Structures are given as structure tokens and as C-alpha cells.
Structure 1
Amino acid sequence: MAKKVKAPGIYAPGSIILTENIIKNMDDPDEGLIMELSPGGETGMDKVAAKYGYSLEISTSDNMVTSRMMPLNKKTEEIDVSGETCPGPAIIVGEMLSGMPSGDRLMVKTLSSDTLDDIAMVARSMGSKIVEKGVIGDRNYVIIEKAEKIQADGAAALNKDSVLIVQSNGIGNAERAYATFIFSKVALSMGKKVIIFTLMDGVSLVKKGNAAIVKHPDFERLDKLMGDVVKAGATIYACELSAKFRGIKPSDLAEGVKMAGAATYLELLSDPGNVIVNF
């Protein structure tokens, strides 16, 4: 996290001397420094930034000047997710982080501070770190530094990077049907393995053509969402017994869906590496 120092009432050149001393004594200068000063305290900060290899951004609000210095060797991309409906921001950020090299940074802006909490959770679960949070104008923001997830040894290695979603509700419960594939999409964007096991009425979701009739005005059609999840690498099973009860044959299943028996289901449930979600 970037170091933040409030120093009202200190003006140049005192603010310059203070800033240099802070930089010299920081545990990790690569994380950057934010100085909150009285107007006039920012004078000469451009020279300090250049001397120590930082970029400099100056902003003013409420009789306070903020000098924000970040390392020049860190490439930072910016994105504004204001107006995106959950889980859109989490998916967008997860996909962007997945495609970024380690060490690069992503600044995410949004009108909602609550959205940032969700985004921070995505970043941490992927092994990345939050280096700064704050407010610029009417936007809340967070800066994430991409890092590769480190796998621990032994008992600590149980990171539960696989999500098993069990769906026993059918097309008659649109909310639960959507939740299955929306949560799957978020998990996939976070780099997790996703397995969906449909049973009982849940198998009706994966019968050819059925998902196409489920449509919520705020989301894309369910069959499109299901197709996206399959293309992204999710594994979808239909319970063989439940399918037989409903006259559904393997040839009746939507593309990418496999039949599976009780042994597969129980094995998935007993796998300690799976986080289990029931809908």
C-alpha cells in the first residue's frame, strides 16, 4: 500500500525536506508516496519526483493539496467501471489482471466504494496486492499491482482454487438459474476452475433449447451466458438419474454438457480442494 502522510501547515522548502526524508526511510519505495499538504507545500515536488524516479500527480480539494508519487517503472492501466452492474466490475478486473504481466498496475475507478471492496477481494484471491485506495473527485479508486499467486507447501497449500456449483433448481427459478452462471463467470475471471453439477430439476437448465427461454431484462439470455461459461473452461455435468427421471438423453443435452453419475458427484463433494456453492 502506498505510504500516506498528512502534513498540513508545512510549506516549501520544509515540505520538500520532509518528503525526501520519508522516501529515504521507506521500507518499500516502490509502493509510492502520497503527501497531503497545505497549499504551497507542493512547490518543488516535481524535482523530488524526478530525483527518486517517481511520476507526480497533484490534486487540490478542501484546502488541501495532495502530491501523489508513484514509481515510473510501474506501468499503470486505468479503467472506470462506474455504471457496471454486479458482477460486471469483478469480471472486468479479473480478466484484465489475468492478461497483465507481473509488476504492472491497474487503477480501477468507480462511483461506488462498495464495488471497490468486491474488486479488492478479486485481486487478493488472484495473488495481486492493493497498493493504494482513495478518492479523486467523485470517483473512488483502487490501484492493484499484478503478482503471480504463490502456492504454499503442505497443509497451507489447500487454497480451494476450484468451485463446485450444485444446481438443483430448473428453468422455473430464473434467479437461481442466472446465479449459477453469473457466479461461474466471476470465478473463471478470477482464475478459478469451475465445475457445475446439475441434478433434480436443475438438469432442465442444460437440456437443449431450455436456457434460451430464460431472459432477465438486465442480463443477456441464459443460453448465451451458459455458452460463455463453457467456452471459458467450465465443466458442466447433468445427473444421469435426474435426467432419466425427466426423459432427457445424452443427445438432448446442450453443447459442452456431460452426463455423470452418483460416483462423480460424491467424488466432487468429497474433494477438499473444492469450494461448494449450492443454488
Structure 2
Amino acid sequence: MCPVAIPKSDRTIDCQDLIYPGPILEAEKTLGTMTIGQVLEVITTDANTRPDLKTWAKRLNAEIVAITDETGGQYSFFVRKVAGAAAQPETSEKQDDERLFLIMLKTGFEYTPIVRSAFMYASLAAAMGFDTVVYCVQAGADTMVKSKIEELDQSTPGQPTILQRFSEARTMDVRVEVCEQTANVRGIGAEDLMEGVTLKGGAVLIDYAARAAGQLTF
């Protein structure tokens, strides 16, 4: 693998003592004092900052120039201040805000009826024509791990299982996403997830919530 080319920076801030979202917040404040075209280097040790850099930069109409490899847990990202109006983050394939419906799932296997309900309502929203996304955080992320979904599902015999409700939702083109920061904390990798489930940074959830025509939390 070729080493990352290190760009010349106009300013550098050290955020090694800050945890997510601290490095992003400090970078945003510093960029506000810089001129168009200047490059800011942010030194950090927080792995949870990395997944949100692209979404954050697009919101500011900034450009991520480079992200270095980690050395001893430390890495840097370089962001350039760009002219023009702020761009919209690339968070979904569809951008019709009036038809976006958000379901946030934070409940895990400790109460499977709630998990099943989340996917049932997701299927219903999709059937009503909404571009529907189920975004999983906290214990909800565990329910999308393929090695756990059948083993830990406590559904009563004769009732639909989580897997059945999940499959119904996917058939209806419901997008299912897991918070990447949650996944990092819980030791969940992309390869551990059910087929069709993707990892998305936490900033994506904020964007969904701001744009959604409706939302439910389970």
C-alpha cells in the first residue's frame, strides 16, 4: 500500500485528548477563522471521528484532502476550506425529503417484540410510498449481527421472528443501517452484519432526522 501523501497545512490543531465528536467540533470552529483555500490539519486519536469526516465536510462545503494511516493510535486528517454555498451531505440515494421516513432502533434482544415492531412499521411506511430507513444504534446494532439474530431472538413460537420481519422490510426496499461508531464500540464489523445492512456514520442520522417527513423510535 502506498503511503498517504501529506499535504502542506496552513494551521494544525491537536485534538488527541478529545473524543467524538470533539475533533470535528474543534475543526469546524477553527475552519471558521480561516480563509478560502487554506488547509487545516487535525491530529486525533479518536477512531470514531473517521466515519463522519466525509459527511461533515460536505455539510461545510469543505474538502477532505487526506487522512493518514494510524501510527500508535494517532492519525491526522487534512481539510481544505472551499468557496460557495454549503453542499448537502450524500446520505441517501433519494433526496425527496417529503418522502423520507426514519425509524431509529435502539432496543436489542432483551425485548424482541419492540425490534419486530420496528421492522413491521418500516415495511408499512415503505408500502405507503415512503423512502424508509431503519437506523440502528446502541443495542439495536446487535440485532443486525447475522450470528446472533437467530440464536438470541426470543420471539414466542407462532409469532413472526425478527429475521422474518427484517426480510419483509428488505423485500420492501427498506434500507437498514448501523451506526458505525456504535459498531466500533461493540466490536461489530461490516462482515458481521446481515446481508444488505450497511454501516453509516452518526452524522448521517442527524441529517436523516432533520430531513425526514416522519420518524419513530423503538
- TM-score, length basis structure 1: 0.41
Separation of aligned partners in 1, 2:161 and 2:105? 18
1:274 matched to 2:213? The reply is yes
Alignment RMSD, CA only?
Answer: 1.8
Distance 1:241 1:221, change over 3 A: same
Q: How many residues align?
A: 121
Using CA pairs under 8 Å that are at least 6 residues apart, name the structure with larger relative contact order, 1 or 2.
Answer: 2
Gap runs ≥5 in structure 2 = 1-95
**Partner of residue 192, structure 2:** 252
Q: 2:195 and 2:131 mapped to 1: Cα distance?
A: 19
Correspondence for 2:130 among 156, 180, 192:
192
**Whole-angstrom CA distance in 1 between matches of 2:101 and 2:216:** 7
1:261 corresponds, among 185, 198, 201, to 201
Helix, strand or coil at the partner of 1:194: strand
Q: What amino acid does structure 1 have at the position aligned with 2:174?
A: A
- Partners of 1:177 and 1:183 in 2: CA distance: 10
How far is the alpha carbon of 1:225 from its aligned partner?
1.7
Q: 1:183/1:200 Cα in 2 relative to 1: closer, same or farther (>3 Å)?
A: same
Aligned counterpart for 1:206 among listed residues 144, 147, 158: 144
Select 1:230's aligned residue among 165, 170, 189.
170
Cα distance per residue 1:244-267 (max 9 Å; x no partner): 111100100101100000121111
- Stretch of structure 1 that moved more, 259-268 or 220-229: 220-229
Secondary structure of 2:104's aligned partner: strand
Checking the alignment, whether the CA contact within 8 Å between 2:97 and 2:213 is kept in structure 1 is no
Amino acid at match of 1:200: Q
Residue number in structure 2 paired with 1:40: none
* Alpha-carbon distance in 1 for matches of 2:102, 2:122: 9
Larger radius of gyration: 1
| Aligned amino acid, residue 257 of structure 1 | V
Structure 1 residue runs without a partner (length 5+)? 1-157
Identity %: 20
- For residues 213 and 201 of structure 2, what CA distance do their matches in structure 1 show? 18
CA distance in structure 1 between the partners assigned to 2:159 and 2:98 by the alignment:
29
Tell me which stretches of 4 or more aligned residues in structure 1 moved more than 3 Å.
none
* SS in structure 2 at match of 1:259: strand
Deviation at 1:223, TM superposition (A): 0.9
1:13-92 aligned at under 5 Å gives the runs none
Q: Distance in 2 between matches of 1:238 and 1:247?
A: 12
